[in-house]
Chain A
Amino acid sequence: MRISLAAEKKAWTLPEWLRYVLIGASFIAAWQLYVSFGGVSQLLVASPASTLQALFTDTTNGQLPGAILVSLQNLAIGMLIGISIGLLLASFSTFSRFGRYLLTALTAVFSPLPGIAILPLTILWFGLSSSAIIFVVVFGAIWPISASTDTGFRTIGTTTRMVALNLGLSRWQTVRDVFLPAALPHILSGLRLAWAFGWRTVVGAEIVFGVAGSNGGLGWYINNARYFLNPPAIFAGLVVISLLGVLLDTFFQFIEQKTVVKWGMKQAQ
C-alpha cells in the first residue's frame, strides 16, 4: 500500500508511458531539426534517421547482434563469478570474526578503485582476451555485492535467527534457506549497483582494447566506427548500450517485484 499525500480528486492526466513517449519523440525531433537545419557537419553528429539506418544495416549484417552478445557474455560471466565470490565473502564475514576484518579491509582498499583502472594490469596478466575484461567486471562486482549482502545478513532480526535455531537448521541450511532470502532486499540492491558498474566497465574496457580486439563487444563496435569515420554507427552503438542498460534495470525491477515486493519486504516504487 502506498500512502499518498496528494489530493484525493485528480483531473484526468496523461498516462505515464505516454509522457515518456512524448518526451522521447520531442527529443528525437529536436535532434533531427538540429542536424537538418543547424548546419552541423554530418561527420560530427549523425541524424536520427541515419542512426536508425545504421542500426538497421548493422543488425541485419550481424555486426551489432554479435557485439551485443560479446558484451553481454562478458558481463554475465563476470557478474556470476563476482556474485559467487561476493556471497562467499559476506558469509565468511558473518560467521567469523577474521572474515569480518578481512572483508572490511578488502572493501576499504579495493572498492574505491574504478574497475577500468586495473585493466592495464589484467591485460598484462591475461593478454588482449575477454578474460582480462571479465576479471575487471568480477573485481567491480565483488565489493558492492559483498558489502550489501553483509549488511543484509547483519540486519536479520533476532526472532528470525531464533526460529532458524529452533528448527535445528544446519549452517548451510541457515544460509541458504533463511539468511539469503531474509537479506534479499539488500542483496538485490547490491546486484543493481554491481551490474551498473559492470556494464559501464565492460563497455569502457572494450574501448581500450580498440582495434586490437578480434571479437569485440559494443565498446569495440563504437570505437571501430570512429576509426572508420562512421558517426551513424557510433550513435547506433550508444543507443544500443543505453537501451540494454534500461532493459537490464527493468529486469532487476521485475525480479524485485516478483520477490521482495511480493513478500512485503520492500515497498513498491
Chain B
Amino acid sequence: MGRQDIEPIVELSHVYLDYHNGRSQGTTIVEDVNFTIQRGEKFVIIGPSGCGKTTLIKAIGGFLQPRQGQIVVNGAPIKSPGPDRAFVFQDFEQLFAWRTVLDNIVYALQVTKQLARRAAIDKAQFYLKLVDVAEAAEKYPHMLSGGMKQRAALARALALEPDILLMDEPFGALDAITRNQLQLELNDIWQSTGVTIVLVTHSIQEAVFLGHHVMVMSSSPAQILEIVDTSQAQDLASPAFVDISAHLQSLLIRRGRNQETAQESAAQLSAVE
C-alpha cells in the first residue's frame, strides 16, 4: 500500500462517550477507547448494530464531546465540527434540497473557503467529474437516485479538501450493485487524493475491501475488540481476504453480549455474502 510517512492524524485516549436523552444522566455508549489513525490511511470501524460506532465517528467529527478522555486531531483537541473533517452521512437527505447539485458544492466552498464564485464553480465541477456525477450538476437533489445523491454528497465533502473524510455508513442504504460500484470508486478516489478516510460500516466485505485497518467493536457499551491490519487483503479472491473476513466474523459473533446479538450479527453476515 505504500504509506511512506507514518504520522498520526487522529488520536483517541481513554475516550468515554455518553448518549444523552433529555435530562437523564446519560448512558455510556463508548467506554475507554484508545486508538490512533495514521494520515492518509483508510480506517474502518465495524461493530454490531447500535454498538456506538456512529456515536464514535460523530465525536471525531466534533458533534459531541467526550465525557472523559481526549480526541486529538492534527495535534489539537477538537472542540467543534468543522470542514477540515468533512462528513458523509448515510441519509440521502444530506444535500440541500433547495440548491442544485452544483450549487450545493459551490455554496459549501464559498462559505468554508471564501472562494470567488467562478473559482468555486470550477472546483465543484472538477469534483463532480471525479465522482462521476457531472451530468447531474444542474439537477435538484430530489431528481437523483440514491446512488447519485451519495456521489454528490461525496463530491461536496471532497471539494472541501478536508484533512479527514468521515463516512458514516455512506453506502448502507444503497442496493448491492451500486454499493459495490461506489466501493471501487472510493478506492480510486483515495488513490488520486490520498485523503484520510474514516469509514463506519456493518459490512465485513466492505470493511476488508476498503480498509487498511479495521477496528472491531463490541456491542454497547462499545469497547475495542481488536484492530486488524487488512492492508494486505484487498483482493476479494485472495486467501488473505477470506481468512481475515472469517476472523472478523468470529470476533463479531463470539463477542456478542448475548445470544440474540450473536444471532443477529450472524444473520447480517450471511446476508452480506
Contact = CB atoms under 8 A, between A and B. Distances in A.
A173 to B, nearest CB: 6
B86 interface: yes
Interface in B64-109: 80-83, 85-87, 89, 91, 93-94, 96-98, 107-108
Contacts of B107: 177
Contacts of B19: none
B13 interface: no
Given A263-B142, A264-B140, A162 B87 contact: yes
B259 interface: no
Given A166-B61, A167-B83, A263 B94 contact: no
Interface string A109-141: 000000000000000000000000000000000
B112 interface: yes
B13 to A, nearest CB: 24
A160 B140 CA distance: 16
A32 interface: no
A169 B111 contact: yes
22 contacts: A157-B93, A159-B91, A159-B94, A160-B94, A163-B89, A163-B94, A165-B80, A165-B81, A166-B81, A166-B85, A167-B111, A168-B80, A168-B112, A169-B111, A173-B111, A177-B107, A178-B96, A181-B98, A262-B140, A263-B97, A264-B142, A264-B143
B147 interface: no
Interface centre among A162, A167, A178, A182 (most CB of B within 10 A): A167
A260 B140 CA distance: 11
B140 A263 contact: yes
- For the side of the interface on A, what is the size category? 20 to 34
A265 B61 CA distance: 28
A162 B63 contact: yes
Nearest to A160: B93
Q: Is the interface of A mostly helix, strand, loop or mixed?
A: helix
B110 to A, nearest CB: 10
A247 to B, nearest CB: 26
Nearest to B109: A167
B93 A168 contact: no
Contacts, number: 64
B141 interface: yes
A166 B98 contact: no
Contacts of A162: 63, 81, 87, 89
Given A159-B91, A168-B82, A181-B97, 12 more contacts: A157-B91, A159-B93, A160-B94, A162-B87, A163-B87, A163-B94, A165-B63, A165-B81, A166-B86, A168-B80, A168-B111, A173-B111
Contacts of A163: 87, 89, 94, 96
8 A-B pairs closest in CB distance: A264-B142, A159-B91, A181-B98, A165-B81, A263-B97, A263-B98, A166-B87, A166-B81
Contacts of A160: 93-94, 96
A168 B81 contact: yes
A189 interface: no
Nearest to A158: B91
A166 B82 contact: yes
A163 B153 CA distance: 10
Interface in A145-183: 157, 159-160, 162-163, 165-169, 173, 177-178, 181-182
Contacts of A265: 97-98, 142
Contacts of A182: 96-98
Contacts of B80: 165, 168
A259 interface: yes
Contacts of A103: none
A159 B98 CA distance: 15
Contacts of B112: 167-168
Nearest to A264: B142
A184 interface: yes
A110 B141 CA distance: 40
B61, B62, B83, B111 — most chain A CB neighbours (10 Å): B111
Which of A168, A169, A262, A265 is most buried by chain B, counting CB atoms within 10 A of its CB? A168
A126 B241 CA distance: 82
